[in-house]
Structure 1
Amino acid sequence: MLPYVVGIGLSLGVAVFARWVGLDRDRAFYPIVLIVIASYYVLFAAMVGSVEGALLESIVMAPFVIAAVVGFKGSQWVIVAGLAAHGLQDAVHGHIIANAGVPAWWPAWCLAYDVGAAGALAWLLTRPQVNVAGAAA
């Protein structure tokens, strides 16, 4: 339960902090968050020296990088969908790829973080008075 609580808490804390200091005024903020989130499984494979694992994780990472670029160039709603989809990927990751480097708590934490970040960005995008990454004025 704790990984879920901490994941949601941190995602919302990062979103509030980014809004407060203005980090999310740049359109690149949430796409970069999505790319970094998606890259961690590759990192975990590399940490245990699994070339095959890093390659497989890179293949799984690719659609999220594509979503980040498409969302950066177009609608930020693609980023919302990408973050939410990565949360779903966290839920099934262990059934798809065996990666000994993934900490036991990571999938739950990352799922919660991803869903929290997707929700925060979706909420910001629906606020017409808020300028989120150049999307609304």
Structure 2
Amino acid sequence: MTVPSHIFARVPLTSGFLFGVLPLPIHVFLPVVLSYQLAAITLVLIAGIYIGYAFKDGRPQTILLEFSVALAFATAAWLGLNGYPYVIAAALAAHGLWDLLHHNLVKTDVPRWFIPFCVICDWIMATGLILIWGFQGI
């Protein structure tokens, strides 16, 4: 068995937790609209990562699947920017479920460490945004 070559692969749960928590404090200090915009951009970037893995995988059906799912998450980001900000947080949580599906059901060639890393990161960010926006009365 090969030893993972970087910290994210060696401790995916810890690094996923940190990647989920560390960006959250900025949302406390940003104007609300900028917080939504940053969260929407984050969602689209996170969803787009699997498109890269699909192209690495090379199978057309995998590329189409991952592109379609990323488009659904981009639509959620758009909805969040157009009056429904909690859709962004819900989509981040849903992306965590999409990550879990990659564990056994979706056959895109994704590194095994990436799945737990991304699940934790997505769910921490979703929960954090709900709490921050809730405390701000949004």
**TM-score between the two structures when normalised by the length of structure 1:** 0.81
The one of 88, 98, 101 aligned to 2:107 = 98
Determine the C-alpha separation between the residues in 2 that align with 1:103 and 1:39. Answer: 16
Question: Per the alignment, do residues 104 and 76 of structure 1 end up closer, same or farther by CA in structure 2, a change over 3 Å counting?
Answer: same
The one of 23, 48, 51 aligned to 1:42 = 51
1:58 aligns with 2:47: no
| Equivalent residue number for residue 116 of structure 2 | 108
* Deviation sequence 1:11-61 (CA, Å, 0-9, x none): 110112x33774875131101111111111111121343433221211222
Determine the C-alpha separation between the residues in 1 that align with 2:98 and 2:57. Answer: 21
Partner AA of 2:52 in structure 1: L
Partner AA of 1:96 in structure 2: L
Q: What are the equivalent positions in structure 2 for 1:109-124 lying under 5 Å apart?
A: 109-124=117-132
1:29 aligns with 2:38: yes
Unaligned runs of 5+ in 2: 1-9
Determine the C-alpha separation between the residues in 1 that align with 2:40 and 2:97. Answer: 18
Determine the C-alpha separation between the residues in 2 that align with 1:89 and 1:72. Answer: 22
Determine the C-alpha separation between the residues in 2 that align with 1:127 and 1:15. Answer: 13
Deviation at 1:78, TM superposition (A): 0.7
Identity of aligned residues (%): 28
Determine the C-alpha separation between the residues in 2 that align with 1:4 and 1:35. Answer: 22
SS at match of 1:4: helix
Question: Per the alignment, do residues 43 and 24 of structure 1 end up closer, same or farther by CA in structure 2, a change over 3 Å counting?
Answer: farther
Question: Per the alignment, do residues 56 and 128 of structure 1 end up closer, same or farther by CA in structure 2, a change over 3 Å counting?
Answer: closer
Partner AA of 2:83 in structure 1: G
**TM-score between the two structures when normalised by the length of structure 2:** 0.81
| Equivalent residue number for residue 134 of structure 2 | 126
State the number of aligned residues: 128
SS at match of 1:126: helix
